[in-house]
Amino acid sequence: MSASVEVRRQGAVATVVMIRPDLGNAVTPEQAGQLSEALEDLVEDPELRVVVLTGSGSSFNVGAFRPKDQPRPAETDAADKVANYERQVPVMRRVLELLGDERIVSVAAINGACAGAGLALALVADLRFASERAGFNTAFLSAGLPGELGAVWWMSQLAGPGRAAGMFLLPRRLSADELLAAGILNGVYPHDQLEAAVAELAARIAAYDPEVVRALKANLRDASSLTLAEYLPEEHRRMVECLARAGRHTATEKTK
C-alpha cells in the first residue's frame, strides 16, 4: 500500500500532510487508515504538543474519493451505498476524535480546495488558518446528501445556526475571506506564507505548559456545552490545579 500520509516532525510539533494531490487529497480508505494510525502514534507521544494537518498540491482535501468508473450515487444500489458508508465512517470518526484529543492542539493549515469530509477535518481542528487561495465548498445538498462527519454541527457551533443554514441550504463555493469574516477561520495568509506562519504559531503554542493548555482546551469545550453555573466550578478546579502546579515548579526551581 502506497503512503498517502506523510508525517514531518520538528520538536514538539508534527505536521501531517495528505499526499494524494492527483486526487485533490480526497479521502480514500487507505488514507483514512493511515491518518488514523499516524494520529494515534502522535497523540500517544508525551513529547508532542501540536499537530498541524495540511494537504499537498493545490488542495487541502476535497472530500470522499470515488473512482471514475464507479457509478454515480443515484445509479448505485441503496444497500451497497449504505454498506460502503458504514464501513468507512468509523475510521474517519476516529480521525476526528484524535484531532480533538485534549492531549494536543490541532491546527488545520488549509492550503487549497476544501470540501465534504475535508471540511469536517478542518472544522474539528482547534485552530484553522488558510491560504488566500483556499476555497470551501458546502455542496452536500447539491450532491443529494445532508452532511457527514459532524461538518454541519461544527459549522453551526463556529458560525452560528443562521450562517450555517445559509451555507448549507444554499450550497456554494466560499472564499477564505468569507469564512474569516464568519469567525470560522483564525487567519488568512498569502499562499506562499501560510506554511511558515502556521509553523511559527504552532511553535508558540508548543512552548506553553502542556497541562495548562489541556486545562484551557477543557474550558473551551465546557464553555460550549455547560451552563455558566455548571462551568464555573470546573473552571475553578482547573485554575487551582494549575496554580498548584506552578507553585510546585517554582519550589523545584528554588531547590536546584
Closest C-alpha to 201, from 218, 186, 217: 186
Q: Does domain 210-255 have CATH number 1.10.12?
A: yes
Cell numbers of 138, please? 458546502
Rg (CA), the chain: 20
Q: Which residue has the cell 468507512?
A: 88
Amino acid identity at 158: L
Q: What is the CATH number of domain 5-206?
A: 3.90.226.10
Confidence label for 251 from pLDDT (cuts 50, 70 and 90): very low
For the chain, how long is the longest CA-to-CA vector? Answer: 73
Question: Rounded to whole angstroms, how far apart are CA atoms 223 and 231?
Answer: 7
Task: Name the helix (H) or strand (E) containing 6.
Answer: strand 5-10
Are 146 and 137 in contact, with CB atoms under 8 Å apart? no
CATH code 1.10.12 region(s) in the chain: 210-255
- Contact status, residue 135 vs residue 112, Cβ threshold 8 Å: yes
Query: Residue 76: which pLDDT band, with cuts at 50, 70 and 90?
Result: low
Report residue 75 as a C-alpha cell: 445509479
Chain segment 149-194, per-residue pLDDT in tens: 999 999 999 999 999 999 999 999 999 999 999 999 999 999 999 9
Q: Has residue 224 got a pLDDT over 70?
A: yes
pLDDT at 171: 94
Residues of the chain with CATH 3.90.226.10: 5-206
